[in-house]
Chain A
Amino acid sequence: MPNLFKFFSNNNAYLLLLLYCGIAGLLIKFEEHYSLKSLLSRGTEVRATLSQGLSEISLYINLKQENEKLTLQNSALLADVIVKGNALRDTASIDRAASFMNNAPVHLIPARVVERRFDTSENVMIIDVGDKQGIEKDMAVLTPDGLVGRVIQVSRNYAKVMPLIHSEFSVSVVSDSSNTHGILRWNGEQEQIAQMHYVPLSSSMYKREKISTADFSTFALRGIPVGKVIEVIPEKQFYRINIELGVDFSSLTHVMVAEKTVDSEKVDLMREATDTGINSSQTDQTNP
């Protein structure tokens, strides 16, 4: 017996190792046992809880990077939406223009607005057709929605257009139901609103009447829609009439140029009349 105690005290490290290894062996053997599985599943729960906490901390720490990543993704998506939106709008605009051109009584040349400068008074647009495509000065520029302006300068491949919303622009117009004539000008204030001048108080004008170009115009065809009456204000001799323009200049991308149909002899005669001061009310200095 004393020898046995001596053996145990001398080799207790080995015995301890044997004991622990034995327990470990049993644990390996009974790893699939219900009670051990239950213990391990609780360990898994603890592990999952801790992992979740750590993930949340990690997420919080990486929030800035995540935000930057999302911002970049948003930018890319926004760029994509803009590109696709433009393509859709262009397609719709081209389709409408094509349909209008097929039904139009005169030959229309399609064009794209490549540049525009809009400020309080000096609004100018440049379109991608010019001399090469048969564009000439004083041709009317329009869309299916209505008159856009007139060509004022032509180069080989481009043309400069003075839009309706230009302080120097004027055009002879007529109302559709009361057949009242007047001169349309833009006063440089609201982009969508132009004014019809020289309409005598004796005329009858109504709200919502549609306005289109008149036969008196020196550049535009008769019957190009311009807009509709939204306000009729009687003044001393004439009415001051506000017209809501049919064309939305802010989203203008495609236009058409109407080939000249106005007789140059008529234009010359009108100019002579203006120079001699005969014409005082129905024409202006810029040949409406």
Chain B
Amino acid sequence: MFKHTILDTFLLIVLCIIQQYAVSRLVIFGVFPDIVTIYIAFTAIRYGQKQGTTYGFMAGIATGILSGSIGTETLTKTIEGFVAGYFYIPEDSHASSRQKKQMYYKGVLLASVIGRVLYTLMINVLSLPTTLHMTYSIGVATLLTMIVAVFAYQMFFKKILVNN
């Protein structure tokens, strides 16, 4: 367990760096996908709500230090981890691989939407954009995150979740 925690934490920090320096440059229609959210959601689904919340908190601190808005990032990512934890798949779960996949997608989707909404509201607290603009921004960002989540599931997470 300890080994897993160290490895996951290390991976989380690496993903935060990749998000800041590589993924955030892949701007499509003015927004970009969030791979840190995907990983937070994955850990929450795999280990539970408490762990998800803690990983979210750590990811928020790391991302915040790198991006410069530490408080906002910490709050957003913590809540993302918490909400994704509702889709926790216990080790002794008898859920089919299809159900696990659905849980994973639902977890990522909810975390992404709530994270984006919170972030948009907090960043633009003094100059709120129009509802249409917010919907567009959140919708496209979530869509992009979900596309990356599909690739991540097929390439890495499927094996882990199915064997869990």
Chain A residues within CB distance 8 Å of chain B: 12-13, 16-17, 20-21, 23-29, 31, 36, 39-40, 42-44, 46-47, 50-51, 54
CA distance A26 to B71 in the complex (A): 7
Q: Is B30 an interface residue (CB 8 A)?
A: no
List B contacts of A13 (CB < 8 A): 48-50, 53, 82, 85
Contact B68 A24 (CB under 8 A): no
Contact B75 A28 (CB under 8 A): yes
Can you give 21 A-B contacts (C-beta < 8 A)? A13-B48, A13-B50, A13-B82, A16-B50, A16-B53, A17-B53, A20-B54, A20-B56, A20-B74, A20-B78, A21-B79, A24-B72, A25-B71, A26-B71, A28-B72, A39-B70, A40-B65, A46-B66, A50-B21, A51-B21, A54-B22
Closest to B72 in A: A28
Contact A25 B20 (CB under 8 A): no
Closest to B60 in A: A24
Contact B53 A27 (CB under 8 A): no
B residues 53-67 with Cβ under 8 Å of A? 53-54, 56-57, 60, 64-66
B residues 14-36 with Cβ under 8 Å of A? 17, 20-22
Q: Quick one: given A13-B85, A43-B65, are A21 and B70 in contact (CB under 8 Å)?
A: no
Least CB distance, A16 to chain B, in whole angstroms: 5
Least CB distance, B64 to chain A, in whole angstroms: 7
Least CB distance, B89 to chain A, in whole angstroms: 16
Contact B54 A16 (CB under 8 A): yes
List B contacts of A20 (CB < 8 A): 53-54, 56-57, 74, 78
- Of A31, A39, A43, most B-chain CB atoms within 10 Å: A43
Q: Which 9 A-B pairs have the closest CB atoms?
A: A28-B71, A43-B65, A24-B75, A27-B71, A24-B74, A13-B49, A20-B57, A20-B78, A17-B82
List B contacts of A40 (CB < 8 A): 65, 68, 70
List A contacts of B50 (CB < 8 A): 12-13, 16
Per the CB 8 Å criterion, the residue count for chain B at the interface is 26
CA distance A21 to B81 in the complex (A): 12
Query: Which residue of the partner chain, among B60, B66, B70, contacts A31 with CB atoms under 8 Å?
Result: B70
Contact A25 B66 (CB under 8 A): no
Contact B68 A44 (CB under 8 A): yes
Query: Which residue of the partner chain, among B22, B66, B70, contacts A47 with CB atoms under 8 Å?
Result: B66
Given contacts A39-B65, A40-B68, A51-B21, 19 further A-B contacts (CB under 8 A): A12-B50, A13-B53, A13-B85, A16-B54, A17-B82, A20-B54, A20-B57, A21-B78, A23-B57, A24-B72, A26-B71, A27-B70, A28-B75, A31-B70, A39-B70, A42-B65, A46-B66, A47-B20, A50-B21
List B contacts of A16 (CB < 8 A): 50, 53-54
Least CB distance, B74 to chain A, in whole angstroms: 4
CA distance A47 to B16 in the complex (A): 12
CA distance A28 to B61 in the complex (A): 12
List B contacts of A27 (CB < 8 A): 64, 70-71, 74
Least CB distance, A54 to chain B, in whole angstroms: 6
Produce 1/0 per residue, B117-144, CB < 8 A to A.
Answer: 0000000000000000000000000000
Closest to B85 in A: A13
Contact A43 B66 (CB under 8 A): yes
CA distance A26 to B78 in the complex (A): 14
Least CB distance, A203 to chain B, in whole angstroms: 86
Least CB distance, A277 to chain B, in whole angstroms: 93
